[in-house]
């Protein structure tokens, strides 16, 4: 049973446009981003206190709308990884991955046996209550589940090649904002060190056949530069920044009349 197909599309060379939710609690937001043409929706449980009920509603709404839902967790603890995937997520996004051993532990938590130790839930919300046997469910979810490792420190960049080589990791994602902090260059997204790191990550992913991604950037020139390096997991927007930008533009327009 095909759930979404984003993982296979990425393997075929497609680009994923990714939106991150920090303010949203309603399933309608998933439908809005799907209608707008985004490919994936990341529910940010690292930077806010979104409740489990809201996460569950957003996951199911995203599945229904055809946009792949993932959950960004605060760390690599295996319990919350299993919970997010059992609740309907088609992937997890894990911050501060700095070496291959961390990446291997994340894969073990996110993959079913024999590749990992992901728990088998009594009910699979991913299939919207359609009857499905456990073997078929596991096969479908194994084909769909994405593991995204965020690289946001100098140590992570140095180890990008070995992290990318870990079986079961799908995407290495450069978090530009936190990387600038680690470099002592807070907010300096134009600094050559940031783009040297982006290039190193893209090359590591290319060598390992994995998808490179980038976020923490908002300027058109930065997006163009990331795409030119081969970044295909593009963190395009946060709901909060999109709302702020659209509200500001509308207020400016109306006050100028």
**Which domains does the chain show, CATH number per domain?**
6-256 (3.20.20.60)
What pTM did the predictor assign?
A: 0.95
Specify whether 238 is catalytic.
no
Residues of the chain with pLDDT under 50: none
Q: What is the pLDDT of residue 2?
A: 66
Which pairs count as long-range contacts for 6-9, CB under 8 Å and 24+ apart, including other chains?
Answer: 6/39, 6/40, 6/68, 6/90, 6/144, 6/146, 7/90, 7/91, 7/143, 7/144, 7/145, 7/146, 7/170, 8/143, 9/39
Residue 43, number of CB atoms within 10 A of its CB: 25
Would you say 166 and 110 are in contact if contact means Cβ atoms under 8 Å apart?
A: no
Helices (H) and strands (E) in the chain, counts: 12, 8
What whole-number distance in Å separates Cα of residue 36 and Cα of residue 104?
35
Residue 1: its pLDDT value, please?
57
Catalytically annotated residue among 47, 126, 222, 238: 47
Q: What local confidence, expressed as pLDDT, does residue 201 receive?
A: 98
pLDDT at 135: 94
Helix H or strand E encompassing 19:
strand 16-21
In 3-state terms, what secondary structure has residue 222? Answer: helix
């Amino acid at each position: 049973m095909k759930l979404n197909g984003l993982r296979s599309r990425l393997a075929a060379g497609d680009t994923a446009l990714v939106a991150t939710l920090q303010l949203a609690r309603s399933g309608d937001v998933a439908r809005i981003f799907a209608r707008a043409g985004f490919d994936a929706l990341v529910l940010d449980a690292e930077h806010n206190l979104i409740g489990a009920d809201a996460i569950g509603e957003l996951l199911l709404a995203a599945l229904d709308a055809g946009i792949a839902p993932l959950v960004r967790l605060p760390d690599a603890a295996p319990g919350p990884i299993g919970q997010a995937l059992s609740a309907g997520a088609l992937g997890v996004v894990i911050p501060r991955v700095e070496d291959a051993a961390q990446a291997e532990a994340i894969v073990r938590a996110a993959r079913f046996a024999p590749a990992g130790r992901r728990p088998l839930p009594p009910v699979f919300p991913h299939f919207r209550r359609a009857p499905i046997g456990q073997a078929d469910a596991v096969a479908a979810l194994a084909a769909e589940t994405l593991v995204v490792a965020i690289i946001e420190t100098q140590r992570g960049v140095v180890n990008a090649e070995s992290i990318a080589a870990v079986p079961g990791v799908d995407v290495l994602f450069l978090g530009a904002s936190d990387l600038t902090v680690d470099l002592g260059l807070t907010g300096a997204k134009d600094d050559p060190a940031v783009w040297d790191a982006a290039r190193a990550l893209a090359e590591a992913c290319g060598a390992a056949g994995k998808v490179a991604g980038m976020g923490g950037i908002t300027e058109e020139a930065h997006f163009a530069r990331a795409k030119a390096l081969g970044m295909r997991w593009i963190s395009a927007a946060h709901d909060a920044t999109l709302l702020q930008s659209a509200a500001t533009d509308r207020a400016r327009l109306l006050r100028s009349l």
